[in-house]
Amino acid sequence: MSDFIPSANIARTRAGQAHYVSRIDETGLGAVDAVADDSAPSSLWGEAWKNLRRRPIFWIALTIIVIALAISAFPSLFTSQDPRFCELSNSLKGPSNGHPFGFNRQGCDIYSRVIYGARASVSVGVFTTILVVLFGGVIGAAAGYLGGWFDALLSRITDIFFAIPLLLAAIVFMQMFKDNRNIWMVITVLSLFGWTQIARITRGAVMSAKNEEFVTAARATGASKSRILLSHIIPNSMAPIIVYATVALGTFIVSEASLSFMGIGLPPEVVSWGADISAAQASLRTNPMVLFYPALALALTVLSFIMMGDAVRDALDPKARK
């Protein structure tokens, strides 16, 4: 230690090597390692929003979703035609003034039916997703947080419903109640058999969150089980639930269209994309545009929710961001 000289820019030769020691203020390490302590800490949702707003796919999906929701909520703002008014003399006529998409085989205005068809399809998707998230989320959160025999019981019930295909069960139940078919019947049937996946996702997220340090700290402060679950665990388990709900919404829209396509979904007096696609099959070879417009509206709507789910998943997953 006697040969060490704590001074600046002094060269020492040792076994053919030259070592240089510089002052700490000359290295610039202080500026590199400096962290602003006056800024607010960034949360998961704040980081997710920063990631989302830089992605074009998010804005494209959001634009299509907003348009679809606006059309389904206020269809009269986008067309003045009655979608149920049909004249056989206009059968399969092409586009004309006030009828940009032309007419179908029954002489109905295709554009107005595409606009009003969004209300049924999007409404089924939105309300079914809300019920599925609430019902499946409650079951999954209770099973994951309480554990033990309660978790085993709810998990076995979930497995029973999970083994039943959604569309097959919907077909059977809609056939059983075919005299009382309406939009709420479709929502109820899809919700009854569509909650299992969200219950599993919620259970896994809750089981992971309940072992975190902030939950231990909440228990140490004397917080009740219900307060810990509602105030700490559930908010920190919402990321995978939101991602799945966004994608599932598109799935439920497709399920409603499939039921209406087979003639066992919504009643004939309700305008639906699936029913219009089914009716356009007879004109597919001679006039394919009759099928193209409702199919395009359905595809764009479902695709927008899938793209939104992918964008939100990548933003909320730190591993995906890396």
Task: Locate the domains of the chain by residue range.
Answer: 118-307
Q: End-to-end CA distance of the chain: give it in Å, rounded.
A: 45
| Cβ-Cβ contacts under 8 Å for 305 (sequence gap 6 or more) | 61, 65, 125, 246, 247, 249, 250, 253
Query: How many residues in total does the chain contain?
Result: 322
Domain 118-307 sits in CATH at 1.10.3720.10
CA distance 63 to 307: 12
pLDDT at site 209: 87
Q: Measured over all CA atoms, what is the biggest interatomic distance in the chain, rounded to whole angstroms?
A: 108
DSSP H helices, the chain, are 29-33, 44-52, 56-73, 110-146, 148-162, 166-176, 183-193, 196-209, 213-220, 225-228, 238-261, 273-279, 289-316, 318-321
> Could you give the C-alpha distances from 155 to 84, 203, 210, in angstroms and in order?
47, 9, 18
Do 278 and 193 contact (CB within 8 A), yes or no?
A: no
**pLDDT per residue rounded down to tens, the chain (322 residues):** 444 444 444 445 555 556 555 555 555 555 555 555 555 556 667 777 888 888 899 999 999 999 999 999 999 899 888 888 888 888 888 888 888 998 888 889 999 999 999 998 899 999 999 999 999 999 999 999 888 888 899 889 998 988 888 888 999 988 888 778 888 999 999 999 999 999 999 999 998 888 888 888 888 888 888 888 888 888 888 888 998 999 899 999 999 999 989 888 888 888 999 989 988 888 888 888 888 999 999 999 999 999 998 888 888 876 555 5
Location of structure tokens 């997220």: 205
DSSP class of 287: -
User: What is the pLDDT at residue 15?
Assistant: 59
